[in-house]
Amino acid sequence: MSKIGFIGLGIMGKHMLRNLRKAGHELVAYDIVPASVDAVVTDGVERGVSCKDVASRTDIVITMLPDGPEVEQAVLGSGGVLEGAHPGLILVDMSSISPMSSQLMGAACKEKGVAFLDAPVSGGEPKAIDGTLAIMVGGDQETFDKVTPLLKLMGSSAVLTGGVGAGNVTKLANQIIVAGNIAAMSEALVLADRCGVDSAVVFNAIKGGLAGSTVLNAKAPMVIARNFKPGFRIRLHQKDLRNALLTAESKKVALPLTSLVQQMLIALMNHGSGDLDHSALVTFIEDMAPKTSSTKQPE
């Protein structure tokens, strides 16, 4: 059984590590926050003191970090994975970052004889806990085949979508669709409310029709209950849309809807909502509307 290094023990990483441990894998764990390492070190999970240290003691390293700059620091920086890497090491970056950053790291790994996959996930904390994430992978078939059994301990699906960077292109596509859905849902529910029609009634009436979606089913109840506990934070979704826009610009692709929603998320962050669930996007639409319903519900 391979010894696995796990770097990044935040909301997602700590649960993903636990699912690997439950299956019997020996692990070396590291995070820049020592308390996060303390929380996972148990029988079979050793403490790593740096990314370099983790790489030197393991066969496969998994990173689950906030964004590209953190992953580049952890992999390419001083004391990073590549300083401790040995030929044959496999690095699987499961963070959601820009595909261009993945390709940069893929090339640096190749020079050192390290195989690299980008493998971002969808599903959030509940699915990280259950080991039922959807995993979108970029890289070569041989490396993908080697790590698929591990990915299947963290996710219910793992799909090879193309070469290095393709996993994060797929993740950006996912994030664009989710953001647009939440923005449209927000406008719809605020309009209904200001017309004097109960949003819960609207949700129940439309969820089985063409407007129904996984996003609507997950997020409309949160809006109706005014429960904006994350979930997926506004600041992380803003980061994903920024990466989508940067990637689009590099390919001369215009993404007007994504750009608009990203601007809303920036405004919400400036007003102290960055750590709320992304369903709190509805508050941006509410703030532009009259405070109360101006139309009586028809008799």
180 near ligand NAD, rule: CB under 6 A: no
User: Looking at the chain, how many residues does it have?
Assistant: 299
Residue 10 engages ligand NAD in binding (rule: CB under 6 A): yes
Please spell the DSSP secondary structure of the chain, one letter per residue.
---EEEE--STTHHHHHHHHHHTT--EEEE-SSHHHHHTT-BTTEEEPSSHHHHHHT-SEEEE--SSHHHHHHHHHSTT-HHHH--TT-EEEE-S---HHHHHHHHHHHHHTT-EEEE--EESHHHHHHHT-EEEEEES-HHHHHHHHHHHHHHEEEEEEEESTTHHHHHHHHHHHHHHHHHHHHHHHHHHHHHTT--HHHHHHHHTTSTT--HHHHHHHHHHHTT----SSBHHHHHHHHHHHHHHHHHTT---HHHHHHHHHHHHHHHTT-TTSBGGGGHHHHHHHS-SS--SPPP-
Binding flag, residue 29, ligand NAD (CB under 6 A): no
Q: Which is nearer to ligand NAD, 139 or 199 (CB)?
A: 139
Tell whether residue 6 is a contact of ligand NAD (CB under 6 A).
no
Region of 31-39, 138-146, 208-216, 285-293 interacting with ligand NAD (CB under 6 A): 31-39
Q: Is 171 a catalytic residue?
A: yes
241 lies in the binding site for ligand NAD (CB under 6 A): no
| Min separation Cβ 179 and ligand NAD, Å | 13
Q: Which is nearer to ligand NAD, 211 or 246 (CB)?
A: 246
Of the candidate residues 4, 5, 6, 8, the single one contacting ligand NAD (CB under 6 A): 8
Nearest distance in Å: CB 215, ligand NAD: 14
Q: Which is nearer to ligand NAD, 73 or 259 (by Cβ)?
A: 73
32 binds ligand NAD (CB under 6 A): yes
Residue 137 interacts with ligand NAD (CB under 6 A): yes or no:
no
List 19, 96, 186, 283, residue binding ligand NAD (CB under 6 A): 96
Interface residues toward ligand NAD, by CB under 6 A: 7-13, 31-33, 36, 51, 64-66, 70, 73-74, 95-96, 121-122, 124-125, 232, 236
Residues labelled as active-site residues: 171
